[in-house]
Structure 1
Amino acid sequence: MGYGERRAGYWRGRYKIEDGKYGTVADTTGTVVKFATKREAKQAADEEEAKVRRGSWRDPSLGQETFGEYASRWYDDQDLAASTMQNYRRHIEEHLLPTFEEKALAAILRRDVDAWEKSERAAYAASSVKTWRSTLHLVFEDAIDEGLITANPAARRRGRGKRAGRSRDRGPEKVITDALGILLIAERAALLSGRDEEFVAVVHKGYTGMRWAEIVGLETEFVRRGSVRVEWQLYELDNGEFVRCPPKDDSYRTIDTMDWLSALVADHVARTKPQPCPCHGRTYVYRGLGRARTGGHHGAKLVDVARHAGVSTGTVSNVLNHPDRVREETRIRVELAVAELGFIRNAPASSDPAAHWRRNGFATWLFRPAADGWYPRKAPQDARPVPIVGEPWPGIPVRGRNSQGRADACWLPIAKGLTPHGLRHTHRTVMEDLGTEKVLMDERMGHLDGSVSARYAHVTSGMRRRLMLGLTEQWEASLDARRAMSPRSPVAALDRLLSARVAS
């Protein structure tokens, strides 16, 4: 039986846990409950001892570990792909710790999580906040499995509270384009880069539905006549490192390619004669456009500062550009690392070309301006139209000092808001429009259909032949439409294709 124990000015309840071990009545935060009378203390102690006998008693000291301490331990226990580990670290460091770091696990309530989400939604896209809450939910689920807490405060309750309809977490509609849009964007991307590489790559991506990392990581040995084999991808980490890893969800596959596409890619490889990259020693079909920072500047890089300070590169960037978003302790640690390593912002780059495209650089400075007709905002400059000299059509981008003053035209949007990943959505939509069988679409996209009906459906040569014919007809129609706009192109690869259409 439990009993009341006299303390200075109050009574506390004591109960037997096991032979030789006694517990003290405490609240959910682990704080000892102070009773005014011995009777009240004994009643509470009896209730706790009854829980022990029923097997439902829980140690009140559990869950007093802070979220920051547990999250650090939780992260260290994970053994996942480098890309997933990077994302988890970014979510925790930049979005969860600023609010929950000092709170005890058991003290974090549902209303705390809801208030955090509301504040995040005021500054970030709903889709991003949803992802961060999913990470928070996962951390709490593992804490439950360890017996540290009994309920998940990040779990969503269905059908409770104010209903805002399905649109509450709905992101913007994914922008897609058509065959002519793919061709025109590819041409513009090549004009922006000053080489044919981007033309071939955009067309290749638009007509195969390959993921960005799969295109970047496409090795020459996997390009064959009539097909492309997806065996690897190059995933870019925050520190700038490219990790050669299996495709997402182990979606190894062989993608059929039309004769014209196989010839386009083979001609590109023959002309460029790619060499093994210095980072992996592999020969890739496509090369980067940016400049490697290895020649003129030999000082520390952003990743060196991040490694020295023990934070992510995103945190270092926030310290340099938005210090008010970073906790003072972290900011001081990063600034000390900057001083110790002699990091120089905006240091000049060398003349050596980079081995691989950077995801952000490709999308920001090549693909989006080609699709939108506008350069993005980049301090101190606002978003602005791509300045061009109108002849020869479709115009040559003007660069350098007073480029706006030297230009005589600008591009109109082709598919405003289209992203490189939008080409993957485009390819799937085109296949739907052509009436392609679902089993072939799933194979081509690298999707897995776990339904029973999918186990009895198989790809046939007839399915493949009809899809290749349909995609070829769309390609030839886009070339004819492009030639009707202007019979020549400043992009050599496209100019040869347009000339061939005349000959045929």
Structure 2
Amino acid sequence: MPPYIEWRGNKCRVKWWAGEYLPNGRKKYEAKSGFADEEAARDYGLDREYEVRHGTAIKQRNSKTLMADYCWDWFDAQDLRPTSTRTYKAIINRWIKPYWGHRAVGDITAFECEAWKKSLRAAAERGEVSARYVEQILMLFGSMMDDSVTRYQLRMTSPVVREKRGRGKYKRKVREKKRPQEMATLYRLAVNAHQVWGYTGWTYIWTGAFTGMRPKEMWGLQRCFTSPYWPASDPLDSDDKKRESDLDRYKGMPALRVQYQHQWVEGERTLVDPKYDSWRTLVVPPFLHEMHTALLASHDSQWMFRSHSGGPLLGTHFEQTYWRPIRDGSPAREGRFARAEIPAVPEMAQKRIYLLRHGHKEWLDEDGHPRVAVEARMGHEIGGVEGVYANVTPGMEMRIAETLQDRWERFLREERNVWLPPVPSPLPVDLQFRIPVQVRTCASLDVN
């Protein structure tokens, strides 16, 4: 039966079979009005019937789903890490739902999406929001629209226009300017860190630079996974065999285990898996092993790196209280928490502490280590055939530790008379930053 055409006032309406039946057995029809002539209405109806016959039809009731509802239905269907959960919620509440919430999923057009994208990027140029955050917003919205087509059949095509090379005004991608990571710069950072944070700060800087660990992996590093104790202290149980083979492989090697990162989950400090499930073992150079041994001997906390209060670093204002004085310097302080003036390190002005991790990879590449060993140490995976055939051997790992040790010893020889802090140094406690200490044993951690 062809589409049924009828006039309503001065506009034409078309009805077509939707491919479904009502409870009474009669065919269910859908309709669309607003056409100026019968030919256009009939062509529209024929197109819809074609889609019904070929299984590509989008039901009108689905396409009319409001974005205010779809945003959260989509969000609830995702399997996300804690950090992504917080980020996605914030983006939906602040950017996507207020702008698109009143619109039906199927009514959003490509022109509207392009206008929205342009307005967001203009806001970034005005400094109202970072360019990187704008790309996160657009990425999330694009994923929602893609899924509305491929997974949930709410639209025929996505309204998000993917940018192609050679289209529009060329804009060179802005990358963060970085200097080569120099030992002299790290040394000044470490000396400043000692003034701010005692022997913990001194060790923290060298650990970041010589392991390439992510900051929150360092925050979640526990005593039982550090080189003075691991692998003998590994709390391996019958439900977790992921690292069982490592117990023999790293026996006798100074190595630490990247098993967790420390993050907020529903308002609670929680140990979660590392980013991208990048569990890994890092063989450390002997000098760093000695620092870790000395630091752990100075306290009995479960955490390798403690805050001023003696608790975990998660929950502190790390950027303001620790990193900025270390990087940018600080005037002298009087009174109970007196300390000398801390000089700035100009090479690191306004830079992220994450660049210590970037610098670690520079060193590994500079020393000519195999790519598979470098990427594994950084917690990355190599794709394709190269990743299938590649394998990291203990010899590769030991050579990395040897070149890192050589880099340290070469610096001490060339600089001469390098000041080294007393070992161990008591941790300065600043009561104004005191927070409740999280007390959990390594063998009974709440891991999500």
1:210 to 201, 213, 224: 213
Q: Does the 8 Å CA contact 1:12/1:24 hold for their aligned counterparts?
A: no
Identity of aligned residues (%): 24
Tell me which residue corresponds to 1:74.
74
The question of 1:189 aligning with 2:189 is answered: no
1:456 to 386, 389, 404: 389
> How far is the alpha carbon of 1:257 from its aligned partner?
0.9
Distance 1:451 1:44 in 2: 46
> How far is the alpha carbon of 1:208 from its aligned partner?
0.6
Q: Secondary structure of 1:285's partner? A: coil
> How far is the alpha carbon of 1:67 from its aligned partner?
1.2
> How far is the alpha carbon of 1:265 from its aligned partner?
0.3
The question of 1:363 aligning with 2:315 is answered: no
Q: TM-score, normalised by structure 2?
A: 0.76
Tell me which residue corresponds to 1:63.
63
Q: Secondary structure of 1:272's partner? A: coil
Distance 1:360 1:156 in 2: 40
2:284 to 244, 257, 260: 257
The question of 1:398 aligning with 2:399 is answered: no
Q: TM-score, normalised by structure 1?
A: 0.69
Aligned length, in residue pairs: 388
Question: After superposition, what is the alpha-carbon deviation per residue over 1:277-324, rounded to whole angstroms, capped at 9, x for unaligned?
Answer: xxxxxx2211123xxxxxxxxxxxxxxxxxxxxxxxxxxxxxxxxxxx
Q: Which amino acid aligns with 1:398?
A: R
1:438 to 356, 365, 371: 371
Distance 1:3 1:248 in 2: 57
> How far is the alpha carbon of 1:162 from its aligned partner?
1.0
Q: Does the 8 Å CA contact 2:296/2:304 hold for their aligned counterparts?
A: yes
The question of 1:220 aligning with 2:223 is answered: yes
Distance 1:366 1:427 in 2: 21
Q: Secondary structure of 2:63's partner? A: coil
Residues 76-475 of structure 1 aligned to structure 2 (within 5 Å): 76-121=76-121, 122=123, 123-144=128-149, 145-159=151-165, 161-165=167-171, 167-168=172-173, 170-174=174-178, 177-193=181-197, 195-225=198-228, 226-236=254-264, 241-274=268-301, 283-289=302-308, 353=309, 355-358=311-314, 361-373=317-329, 386-387=330-331, 397-398=332-333, 410-475=343-408
Q: Does the 8 Å CA contact 2:262/2:314 hold for their aligned counterparts?
A: no
Distance 2:36 2:30 in 1: 12
Relative distance call for 1:61 and 1:362 in structure 2 (3 A) is same
Relative distance call for 1:58 and 1:448 in structure 2 (3 A) is closer
Tell me which residue corresponds to 1:23.
29
Structure 2 stretches lacking a partner, 5+ long: 229-253, 426-448
Distance 1:89 1:143 in 2: 18
Tell me which residue corresponds to 2:422.
492
Relative distance call for 1:60 and 1:400 in structure 2 (3 A) is farther
Distance 1:74 1:175 in 2: 42
The question of 1:3 aligning with 2:8 is answered: no
> How far is the alpha carbon of 1:40 from its aligned partner?
6.6
> How far is the alpha carbon of 1:240 from its aligned partner?
5.3
Distance 2:305 2:343 in 1: 28
Q: Secondary structure of 2:289's partner? A: helix
Residues 33-72 of structure 1 aligned to structure 2 (within 5 Å): 33-35=34-36, 45=45, 48-49=48-49, 52-53=52-53, 55=55, 57-72=57-72
Moved >6 Å (runs of 4+)? 406-409
Distance 2:282 2:39 in 1: 77
Relative distance call for 1:46 and 1:449 in structure 2 (3 A) is closer
Question: After superposition, what is the alpha-carbon deviation per residue over 1:83-129, rounded to whole angstroms, capped at 9, x for unaligned?
Answer: 22112111211222232122221222222222222222223222221
